[in-house]
Each structure stands twice: as C-alpha cells, then as structure tokens.
Amino acid sequence: MTDNTTTYEERMPDALADRCREALREGESVRIAAATDLTEDLRFEERWLVVTDQRLMRFEANGAGAANGNATIEFSDAKSAAVEELVGSGRINVVIGNEEVEVIRYTPSERAKFARIARGIDQLIKKEPVNMQGEVDRTRCDRCRRLLPEPNGICSACTNRLAMMRRIARYALPFKGRLALMVFLSLLFTLAELGPPYIMRIIIDDVLVEPGAAEAGDATTGDPFTFLYLLVGAYAVVRLVSFVLEIFKDRLSVWLGGRVIVSVREDLYENLSRLSMKFYNKRQVGSLISRVSNDTESMMWFLVDGVPYILTNLLLLVGILVLLFVTSWQLTLLVLIPIPLLVIGGGFFWVRLIRAFRTKYYRWGKLVGMAGEMLSSVRVVKTFVQEKREMRRFRSSNEGVFQGDYESEKEAAVFFSTVSMLTSSGLILVWFYGGSAVIDDTFTPGALMMFIAYLWMMYEPLRWFGELNTWSSRAMSGAEKVFEIVDTPAETEDLDDPVEMKDVRGEVEFSDVVFAYEAGKPVLHDINLHVQPGEMIGLVGKSGSGKTTMTNLLCRFYDIDEGGLTIDGVPIRDISLEDLRRQIGVVLQDSYFFSGSVAENIRYSSPDASIEQVMRAARTANAHDFICAKPDGYDTQIGENGKELSGGEKQRIAIARAIIHDPRILILDEATSSVDTHTEKLIQEAIANLVKGRTTFAIAHRLSTLRRADRLVVLDAGKIVETGTHEELLDMKGHFYRMVETQRASTAVMAVGGSRGDPNRDANGHKS
C-alpha cells in the first residue's frame, strides 16, 4: 500500500498481477487495486477490484475475471460512483445511464477502506483530481496478526509488560525513599517469617528430645527449662517483629500504589478534557468511563496487592528453598515433585473458574440493570399494568444469578480441594521418607517438623502463582488502555504561535468549505458565506442538512477539510483555541447544567462575576423573576440535568449564562423548542436581548424563531441552496417557501411571514 493519496494499491497475488498487466491497454495505469472479502453472491472469498484511469475491472484472486465483459466498466459509460451501506455488508455502485450498477461487495470489516476507494473512483470518473485521503483503520495487530478487539485498538497479547511496568514505575519515582523502604521492610519481613520454624526445630531437637544435648553442646546454663524459656521468648519476639513489619509494609504499599494511581488518573482525566470532539465521536462514553474507573482500578489492584505479594512471596520462596536444601537436599527434591502439578493444575482450573465467575458477574449485572430499568420506568410499568410481567422477568433473571453463583462456587470448591490434595501429597511423601529417616537416625525429629512447616509456607503462595499471568496481563492491558489516552494528542491543537485575539468584531467568512466527519462522506460541500459583524443568520434546513456541523466548525470542535474559514479575516486555525472559544457562546436545545446553585451555573464561564452581574444577566434573560420566586432563589441547587427546572427555565438560565459569557459570536441551536407560547415569548425577548450587537447563528426547525434574522441561509444535503431575508426567500418560491408551506399545513404553527412584533400571531394574524 502506498502513502500517496492519489493511488491506492494493495499487493496483488502473482497470478493476478500478471493477468492484470496483460489486460492493460497502452498508456493505461493502475490507480486502485484492492481486495475485498465478499463475492457478488455474498460468500466470504477474496475478490479484487482494479481501477485504472480508464476503467474498472473485477478479478478473482487467481486472476480470472476481467476478460469477461461484465467484469469491466468503462468510465466513458459511467457518471458517478458511491458506496451504499446495506445490512451486514456494503457495496460500491456506479451510475451508468439511469441505473446504479453494483461494482463490488464488501463486509463491514472493509467499510472504511471502500468508502475511500469509492471516492477515488468517483473522482476518476468525473476526471477530478484524485484525493483518497483518510485513514484505513487497523483491524489486526501489527505484530501477532491477531484481530484487534476494536479498530485501531490495542492487542492485549502484545502488550509489552516490561515497558509498561517501567512506565508505571516512573510514576513511583517521586517516592523513591518510600519505595526503597518498602523493599527493605519486605526483606526483613521475609527473614522474620523464616525464623519460627527454625526455632521450633531447636526446641524439639535440643530441648524436648535430647535435653542433654543442650548441656553438652552449649556454654549456657545446664537447665533445660531456662533454655526452653529463652527459645520460646525468641519465638515470641520474632513473631512480634514480623507482625509489626507486616503492618508497616502493607501500609506503605497501599500508600504507594494509591499515590501512583492518583497521578495516572490525573493524567488521564486531564487529557480526556483536552481531546477533540472528533475523538469523542469515535468512542462510546461508557468505554471511556471504564478506562477512568475499571482500567485504573485493575492497575491499582495490581500495584497495591499484586506487586507486594509477588515481591514478598518470591523472597520467601527463595529463602525457604535455601533452608530446605541445606537441611536435606534429597527430601527437598522429593517435595518439589507436586509443584509443577500444582502450577499447571492451578492454571487449568483458574481458566474454568474465571469463566464461571465471568458468567456470574454478567448475570449479576443484568439483574441490577433490570432492577434499575424497572425503577426508572416505574410509571410506564404501572400505567400499562405490567408489574406481574416485570416480576416474572426479574424472577427468571434472579434464578439465573443463583445458577451462576452455584456454578462458580462449585468450580471454586473443586479448585481448592484439588490444590489441598496436591499439597497433602507432598506432605505424605515427606512424612513417609522423612519419618523413615528419623527412625534410621539419619534425620532429627525437629528437622522433620521444620521441613513440614516450611512446606506449608511454600505451597500456600504457590497455588496462586498460576493466576499471576492473568493478573498481570489484565493490569498491563488496563495500563496500556489508560496510557493510550494519555498519549493521544489533542487533534485540534494550537499552532506553535497562535494569533492572539482578545477583541473580535465578529466577521465570519466561510469560503469553499468542505467537511466530512468520516473520510469519504462529506456533510458540507462548497459552503460560501460572508457574515458581517453583528449580523444574525438563521440556519434553516432538514435535520442532517449540516446546520449544526457549520456551527461545530465555527467552534472549531473539528477542523475543516478543504476551503477556508476566517474570523475577522484570520484563519480559524491560527487563532488560539482559548481566545476563540472565549469569543463564542453557545445556547443549546438541551442545556447541560453542573451540580451547584443557579448562580454558580450562570457564572460558569466567568467564576469571578459578582452576584449582581449574575442577576443583571438573569434579568436580561427574563430569568430573574422565576429564580427569585424559588424558595432558595439564586442559591437553588440544581442537579446534573437541571431536574428542578422546567424546559423554559433551563433555556433562560442557559441564555443568562451566555449573556454573562459576553461572546462576540453567538450560536443558538434550537434554543426555543417544546415550550408553551408564553414561555416562548419570554425566551424570544431574552434572545433578542442577547443577540444585540453580536454575530449570531441561529438554528431552528420552527421557522418562527428566526423572524429576527437579518438573513436566512437554507441548507440542503450539505449545500447552501438559498440565502436571503425571509421576504426574499418567500418570493423565490424555492426550498424555503416549500418548508414554510409544509409547516403551515401540518401544524398551526406561527409562520415566519407573520407580524414581527407578536410571536403569538400566525401568518394570518390569528391568535394561536
């Protein structure tokens, strides 16, 4: 595949490449060669599309095809090309005569690629300059060729754990001292843990079994009781020390893990708020929330519990093995026999266990979801008298949870029993051979007891080592997902030296603007519009015609693909984002409020505004009266979605918020909708106050809202089709006239042509 945007070539199989070369005419050159995964009769097989500057050919992978007349389409016959999305597949159609003829089919896996190709074909047919720019999503991992869980996603299998660990470790660097202390404490703790069995051995061998040995072999007093008390005292001290060490060590690791995650989460959150709208369009909010919560949590869990656990247990394991070998290497080799079984068996059961638990959690989630759904739609359930049915649904789901619970616990029981059985098989061996050795007098009873005690200590962590892989990979792929966002650059970023614009007059110019959310499917073409400072523009058109997209470009939520967009003659790309957004205010149909008081919400854009400024803004927005009427006035707490407020109230608060923001350029997106006529009048007045002297773009389906607009711009399928005052547009009897007629006919809506002063009158002067 070449990087050039004027050709697109995938490597053809040899037979096909030969066949294709033969088929080419003199001077004909290949522009596109692409494989699809679907045949014309919808089987999953490879087919090839080869496009030259003269025609379009289809081949089978072995090169058969283009000789057949049906498999070739000459561009001289064709008018245009476009993709058509069907259900579960898609195709490229070429218009020949009055017909759309299918050229090639593809599955949704190849959708993005063929959208690009279709654009290329269309441009070739129309002899326009070819531009097939656009990214083709990566669907397979570059390294292991595994299919990726999401396009351009991360291959969990190829996550470089070491690199990830190193990166996480960097977050811990500021806490070097504590980190070192924790490692040191872990070492001490391990030593302390190893002590008790050894003391036990001395007690048994030197005090209990052969009290004489103490007298003979030692310079201490001959009293076995004193020796015993001394040893027991040592035992107690060692236990106490390890107890204290454990507490400090655990506290430290929780603190460290927690600190690291706090920094990671902070980086993640900071970058999330910086990322462009384009980024958010491609992702689901849910999956992003899961990165903030689940993925950081799985990292945290691993850091707080996993890493210290691995550290201490590895140290312990090494210490135990050394001591065991020193005591009796033959017996040690013997007890190592069950260990591979333990690790392998543990791993095997772990997979089943995980599966059972996953099912359980899935069902549990469904049950919770169902209960939530019931509670939030309780009115609907009750009005349709469906309580019994809901109960039945719940009961069957509840039963499913029990089954899942039972299954997983069953697996768990098997797992743990197997582990203890394997463990005891090691012990049996020790009792058998060790016991014989004691009788033969080649081994002391104390040594045997110590051996057994160490064995218990060793097997315990070993049974969990099977899951280590799962633990760490989950944490590491979580880490990778988190860092993916941390590393994503904000797509619309400031230039190196953006133009500062503290004061804007509000002159806006779109020239030949082309824009597509998704490569190959432009939603705006050839937009030309020159707006004078202070002018109010009404954007009119069906939904999907590109009205909101135009305003999105103005806010620079997205960058335009072609053409120019300037504010006061400065290209929008050159203006610093902060300055730009400070000059633009948006009032949306669904205004979003933050939890806080009414006053705080009004002064969201300028937290320093005094309460008097807030009130002045609210008064201008016709909001002051109703706010004062509330028991808590401006201190009324409103929740996330402004639950305490009616639709009209929300609108006016949003307008007050925009007034205090004092932007030079204003965007009103369906600012009056679904409110009664009296409220609408209040909002209209508020808007009239707001738009004074500001360049305004107003979007509305209800054409009445736009009566004050200086000019109306009618959009259809991404193009400006009409521009003018409403009188002019009505006289034109074009798109706008038809829209007004339809609205007048379908509802008793106030028409735009009506008297200016009174929004409550329709076109015929009737009170509505």
Partner 1 sequence: MSGEIEMPEEPGVDAPDTFEFETGIENAPVEPYQAHEIRVFRAPAHTVRMTVTGERSYIRVRPVNASPMAHSDRYVSLLDIKNEEVAFIRDMNDLDEESRKVIEEELAHRYLRATIECVHSIQMEYGVTYWDVTTDRGKREFVIRGHENTHWASDTRLLLTDVDGNRFEVIDYTQLDPNSVRLIETNV
Taking CB under 8 A as the binding criterion, the range among 148-156, 635-643, 664-672, 754-762 that sits at the site for partner 1 is 148-156
> Helix or strand or coil: residue 73?
strand
Residue 149 in contact with partner 1, rule: CB under 8 A: yes
Q: How far is CA 340 from CA 336, 435, 459, 535, in A?
A: 8, 24, 11, 80
In angstroms, rounded to a whole number, what is the distance separating the alpha carbons of residues 290 and 284? 10
Of 150 and 741, CB closest to partner 1: 150
How many of the chain's residues bind partner 1 (CB under 8 A)? 36
Select from 107, 398, 418, 532 the one that contacts partner 1 (CB under 8 A): 107
Q: How far is the CB of 703 from partner 1 (least distance, A)?
A: 21
Mutual angle of helices 307-327 and 176-202, in 10-degree steps:
30
In angstroms, rounded to a whole number, what is the distance separating the alpha carbons of residues 119 and 184? 64
- HSE on the CB side for 340, CA within 13 Å? 3
Of 242 and 477, CB closest to partner 1: 477
24, amino acid identity: L
Q: How far is the CB of 426 from partner 1 (least distance, A)?
A: 31
| Residue 644 DSSP code | T
Mask of contacts with partner 1, 74-103, x by CB under 8 A? ------------xxxx-------xxxxxx-
State the CB neighbour count (10 A cutoff) for residue 508: 23
Select from 151, 224, 564, 633 the one that contacts partner 1 (CB under 8 A): 151
Strands 72-74 and 55-60: antiparallel
Taking CB under 8 A as the binding criterion, the range among 149-157, 431-439, 539-547, 594-602 that sits at the site for partner 1 is 149-157
In angstroms, rounded to a whole number, what is the distance separating the alpha carbons of residues 629 and 45? 70
Of 174 and 369, CB closest to partner 1: 369
Q: How far is CA 27 from CA 22, 38, 54, 476, in A?
A: 13, 31, 10, 54
Closest CA relative to residue 130, chosen from 122, 139, 140? 122
Return the residue matching tokens 């109703």: 626
Of 396 and 637, CB closest to partner 1: 396
Q: How far is the CB of 91 from partner 1 (least distance, A)?
A: 8
Of 140 and 530, CB closest to partner 1: 140
Of 7 and 93, CB closest to partner 1: 93
Strands (E), 117-249: none
In angstroms, rounded to a whole number, what is the distance separating the alpha carbons of residues 406 and 396? 15
Of 251 and 283, CB closest to partner 1: 283
Select from 29, 108, 170, 495 the one that contacts partner 1 (CB under 8 A): 108
> Helix or strand or coil: residue 103?
strand
Q: Give the strand order in the sheet containing 562-567.
A: 521-531, 508-518, 562-567, 570-571
Q: How far is the CB of 99 from partner 1 (least distance, A)?
A: 5
Taking CB under 8 A as the binding criterion, the range among 104-112, 173-181, 249-257, 680-688 that sits at the site for partner 1 is 104-112
Q: How far is the CB of 495 from partner 1 (least distance, A)?
A: 36
DSSP H helical ranges for 430-444: 435-439
Instruction: Report which secondary-structure segment, H or E, holds 331.
Output: helix 329-336
Select from 31, 58, 111, 735 the one that contacts partner 1 (CB under 8 A): 111
Q: How far is the CB of 277 from partner 1 (least distance, A)?
A: 23
Of 122 and 480, CB closest to partner 1: 480
Of 39 and 576, CB closest to partner 1: 39
Closest CA relative to residue 507, chosen from 538, 532, 529? 532
Select from 47, 265, 474, 735 the one that contacts partner 1 (CB under 8 A): 474
Q: How far is the CB of 126 from partner 1 (least distance, A)?
A: 21
Of 38 and 618, CB closest to partner 1: 38
Q: How far is the CB of 632 from partner 1 (least distance, A)?
A: 42
Binding to partner 1 in span 356-415, by CB under 8 A: 362, 389, 392, 396
Q: How far is the CB of 98 from partner 1 (least distance, A)?
A: 7
Taking CB under 8 A as the binding criterion, the range among 147-155, 262-270, 453-461, 676-684 that sits at the site for partner 1 is 147-155
Of 166 and 392, CB closest to partner 1: 392
Residue 157 in contact with partner 1, rule: CB under 8 A: yes
Measure CA of the first residue to CA of the last residue in the chain; give whole Å: 64
Q: How far is CA 611 from CA 43, 373, 603, 624, 662, in A?
A: 69, 41, 9, 12, 16
Instruction: Report which secondary-structure segment, H or E, holds 35.
Output: strand 30-36
Q: How far is the CB of 183 from partner 1 (least distance, A)?
A: 30
Select from 21, 138, 143, 147 the one that contacts partner 1 (CB under 8 A): 147
Taking CB under 8 A as the binding criterion, the range among 178-186, 271-279, 307-315, 472-480 that sits at the site for partner 1 is 472-480
Select from 397, 473, 606, 613 the one that contacts partner 1 (CB under 8 A): 473
Instruction: Report which secondary-structure segment, H or E, holds 466.
Output: helix 445-487
- HSE on the CB side for 111, CA within 13 Å? 13
In angstroms, rounded to a whole number, what is the distance separating the alpha carbons of residues 314 and 575? 57
Beta bridge partners of 104: 92
Residues of this chain that bind partner 1 (CB under 8 A): 38, 42-45, 86-89, 97-102, 107-109, 111, 139, 146-151, 156-157, 355, 362, 389, 392, 396, 473-474, 477
